Amino acid sequence: MSAQKDCEFMVQRARELVSEDPCAAKSWLITARTLYPADFNIQYEMYTIERNGERTASAGRLLYDMFINFPDQTVVWREISVITAALRSDCQDKHALFLRGLFETLPGRVQCEMLLKATEQCFNTLEKAELLLLLLKRFPDSVVQHGVNLGETLLEAEVSESLETPVNCFRKLFADGQMQGPPEVGSLKAQSASRGPQRYVIDGLSEKSSVVAEPWDRLLDILALVGARCEWQGDKGQRSYVDMLQRVKELCRYLPSLEGETRSRCCSQVVLCSVLVLFRSAFLYASSVQPTLFQGLNTLSSGPWILLEDLSLVYSDVEAERGPVKHAHKKRKLADGREKTMALESFRTARESWDLLHAHESLETEFNKICASWKTDNWLWFRIFLTDMIIYQGQYRKALSSLVQMAAVQQPQPGQQSPSGQASLESSRALIQQASCHYALGEHRMACEKLLDVVSGLVAPTLDPVTPLEDQGKAKNKSRKGSDLRLLPCTSKAILPFCLQLMLACFKLRVFTDNRDDLSLGHVVVLLQHDWPQGESLFLKALEKICHQASFQYENFFNYVTNIDMLEEFAYLRTTEGGRIQLELLPNQGMLIKNPCPSLGGVELNTLLLQGVQTIDRHHTVTRGITKGVKEDFRLAMERQVSRCSENLLGVLHRFCLNEKVMIIQSLP
């Protein structure tokens, strides 16, 4: 018999016995092992029996024996890598638990040795680093020996794999490693240390795959570590982010008086701290404004918000507003309901840090470098903040280009729309903000175009009484005096009123001039119905103008004006007492002919259009002029309108925006 055959014979016997009498099988293998201690298969068979029996201690012992005696066997390495993989994973299944248990039975020295060897054997940098990290985590003493190695490996790998973003798996590990390393290890240089925090920023933000618990708190820890190592000014204690900003603000004052090394150190401290405050605050702001970006993180808000011009003054007299078109931006205030204070507070802090970062040229340069290397341009959430900030600063042109880009990015993909229509709401966010900017720039036609785009994407208002929300809005309006930016919930209910107000604002300025523009005046009347009687004074002003003109032609009047006060006023205008104003408010013939047979159902749009007048046109050929028939028609139409007073006003106005889109836009220069 040859040695090989002997071994095979004995292993074979063990295999035959193992299911029926495992003890006998083991006895065979023990015997075989004493005969042929250098035979791998015997020991592997022993290990297999113990492993399959999930006996951690004996399996661990045998694995270690193989690890020592058969370092060249690939099977051993396969086993070890399965175990280290289990150690790295969070998997809780039975097998993973067993493998981890097996590893735990090994004495510490052996664990260390095994991890180290496994690391050496590993050629995948990432895995290798993970292994090394595992090693460092379990055996902090080995940091001195291997910690530097890990850092270097990771940084090298990052370079060699030329990854897109600086926020990548290598950095992640790097940061992990730093957190775990004892602070006295001086080998990790401050420069490289500063890369650690980046990962936490991003982890908290985007990488859902590797969620770090309390990333911002851990980031503060890291910062304290980095600060201590870089000999930063100020205490080493952990403060809040707001405290930190205050501290670097103070520090910043001394910056011009500093020179050389001290100056650059101070500079980097200010920049790093401010950047982190900026990112954190901007992140918090963005996550409350557009929570879908970071699902799971938002606890406060239920839906997206839009930061917009406050239009509560839209109903006020034209003269008061005509004066200073440009706002005194520095005095702008943000005020809003309490539920939004957090978001606004974050916005304010972020803006402060932004300002600080642009307080000195050297800081700005440093900041721009960081932005470039971190590729912040690609961070949608950060752009949301930046855009809002530019709007806040009144840089509307700049804001517009940014908004256009964002709108392109956020365009909802077909089929991706969430059931609640949230995605489309968010895409209309950018449009509304664009409209707001156009308005601020005096580009009213563009503003209206965007607004009408938004409205056409909205769901038609339901017949529910909208009063609760309206009331709330009104209540706020009163307390919001003097403020001119507000956070608006990004919902159909909230958006439509805003669009109407902004459109009103666009037309209002045009209408109350010396030029005659009945079409625009008509639109204003229609729009003034919203939030009635807020716009009462403006309506009276409009009437004044009509009286002055002695005639008024607006063929959509009966389609969209249902306000009883207004109808009354217009009816009065025709009377002798009212000044016998010549009113042409009935739809013209051309429009009627378009849809001669509305009762058949036809296109909804036309049916809607004719809703108020269909009974009349059956019997009368409507002609212009003061004929008896027409008078009769007007009276009938008025009577009919009175019956429509209870109609959902927002529904009517929504229809107005949809159906008259072209006409509305064309009526603006």
Partner 1 sequence: MGDIRQSLLPRDVLSAAKELLYHLDIYICNLVQSGRQTPQVDTKTLELVEEFILHSPKDRNVQPRRMSALQELQLLEIMCSCFQEQSRDAVRQLMFSALFSLQGNRADESRMALLSKLVSMAVAVGRVPILECAATWLQRTHRVYCVRLARVLVDDYCSLMPGSVSTLQNIHSSSPRFCCQFITAVTTLYDLTTEDLTPPLELLQMIVSWLQDDPRLVLVTLLNTALSGSPPISSLDLTPLGGLVRWCVKAPLAYGRSEKRPPVANGTAESQAAEAGPLFSTLHLSVLQVLMMLPNVLNEKGLFGRLALLQPETLATLTSDLSRLLDLADEHGPPGDAHTLSQLALDRLAQALQVALANGALLCSREDLRAICSRLPHNNLLQLVMSGPVVYYNNIHTPPMAFSPHSAHSPISSHPTHQPLPPHPAPHPQYPAQPFLSPMPFPYRPNH
Binding site for partner 1 (CB under 8 A): 1-3, 6, 9-10, 13, 21, 23-24, 26-28, 30-31, 34-38, 69
Neighbours of 268 (CB within 10 A): 19
To the nearest whole angstrom, how small is the minimum distance from the Cβ of residue 102 to partner 1?
Answer: 19
How far apart are alpha carbons 415 and 409 in whole angstroms? Answer: 16
User: Which residue, among 13, 15, 10, has the nearest Cα to 32 in the 3D structure?
Assistant: 10
Q: Can you say how many angstroms the Cα of residue 511 is from the centroid of all Cα atoms in its chain?
A: 39
Q: What is the DSSP letter of 622?
A: -
**In the complex, least distance from residue 213 CB atom to partner 1, rounded to whole angstroms:** 43
Question: Given the structure tokens 């680093």, which residue do they identify?
Answer: 129
Quote the CA–CA distance of 215 and 198 in Å, as a whole number.
Answer: 11
Is 643 buried (19+), middle (13-18) or exposed (0-12) by CB count in 10 A? exposed
Q: Which is nearer to partner 1, 70 or 139 (CB)?
A: 70
Tell me whether residue 57 or residue 626 sits nearer to partner 1 (CB atom). 57
The Cα–Cα gap between 36 and 43 comes to 10
Structure token pair of residue 483: 């403020």
State the virtual CA torsion across 240, 244, 250, 254 in degrees, nearest 10: 160
Pick 17 or 591: Cβ nearer partner 1: 17
Could you tell me the smallest distance in angstroms from the CB atom of residue 62 to partner 1?
12
| H-helix or E-strand spanning residue 51 | helix 40-52
Question: What values do phi and psi take at 487, rounded to 5?
Answer: -90, 125
Instruction: Tell me whether residue 38 or residue 459 sits nearer to partner 1 (CB atom).
Output: 38
> Residue 9 or 572: which CB sits closer to partner 1?
9
Q: How far is the CB of 56 from partner 1 (least distance, A)?
A: 16
State the nearest-atom distance from the C-beta of 55 to partner 1, in Å.
12
The least distance separating partner 1 from the CB of residue 10, rounded to whole angstroms, comes to 7
Q: Is the separation of the CB atoms in 200 and 225 below 8 Å?
A: no
**The tokens 């139409």 sit on which residue?**
637
Residue with token string 């042409």: 584
Burial 127-160 (b: 16+ CB within 10 A, else e): bbbbbbbbbbbbbeebbeebbebbbebbeebbee
User: How near is the Cβ of 26 to partner 1 at its closest, in Å?
Assistant: 5
Residue number with CB closer to partner 1 (27 or 246)? 27
CB of 79 to partner 1, least distance (A): 20
Q: Which is nearer to partner 1, 43 or 153 (CB)?
A: 43
Task: Give the residue with the Cβ less far from partner 1, 27 or 368.
Answer: 27
Closest separation in Å from C-beta 115 to partner 1: 25
- 65 versus 453: smaller Cβ distance to partner 1: 65
Counting other chains too, the contacts that 401-410 makes at CB distance below 8 Å and 24 or more residues apart are 403/430, 403/433, 403/434, 403/437, 404/430, 404/434, 406/380, 406/430, 407/431, 407/434, 409/380, 410/380
194: which 2 tokens? Answer: 């500063």
CB of 110 to partner 1, least distance (A): 17
Residue 125: which H helix or E strand, with range? helix 125-138
Which of 24/630 has CB closer to partner 1?
A: 24
Shortest Å distance, C-beta 143 to partner 1: 34
Report how far residue 56's alpha carbon sits from residue 53's, in angstroms, rounded to the nearest whole number.
9
Q: Which residue lies nearer to partner 1 by CB, 69 or 627?
A: 69
What does each C-alpha distance from 193 to 151, 154, 170, 185, 227 come to in angstroms?
Answer: 10, 13, 13, 12, 10
Contact 655, 560 (CB under 8 A): yes
- Shorter beta-carbon distance to partner 1: residue 27 or 659: 27
Secondary structure of residue 210 in the 3-state scheme: helix
State the minimum distance, in angstroms, from the CB of residue 19 to partner 1: 13
Which one, 109 or 253, has the nearer CB to partner 1? 109
Give the single-character DSSP code of 377.
G
Shortest CB 69 distance to partner 1, Å:
7
Question: In the bound complex, what is the minimum distance in angstroms from residue 1's beta carbon to partner 1?
Answer: 7
The answer for residues whose C-beta is within 8 angstroms of residue 527's C-beta and 6 or more apart is: 500, 503, 504, 507, 535, 653
Nearer to partner 1, 31 or 246 (CB): 31
The 3-class SS string of 16-36 reads HHHCCCHHHHHHHHHHHHHHC
CA pair distance 165, 375, nearest whole angstrom: 7
Report the C-alpha dihedral over residues 56, 60, 61, 63, rounded to 10 degrees: 140
Is 25 or 188 the residue whose CB approaches partner 1 more closely? 25
Q: Are strands 485-489 and 305-309 parallel, antiparallel or unpaired?
A: antiparallel
**Kind and range of the H or E run holding 551:** strand 551-553
- Minimum distance of partner 1 from residue 97's CB (angstroms): 24
Q: Which residues have C-beta within 8 Å of that of residue 285, sequence separation ≥ 6?
A: 343, 346, 347, 350, 385, 388
Nearer to partner 1, 27 or 121 (CB): 27
Comparison of 21 and 120: residue with beta carbon closer to partner 1: 21
Work out how close the CB of 5 gets to partner 1 at its nearest, in angstroms, rounded to a whole number: 9
Contact 45, 61 (CB under 8 A): no
Instruction: Name the minimum Å distance from CB 104 to partner 1.
Output: 21
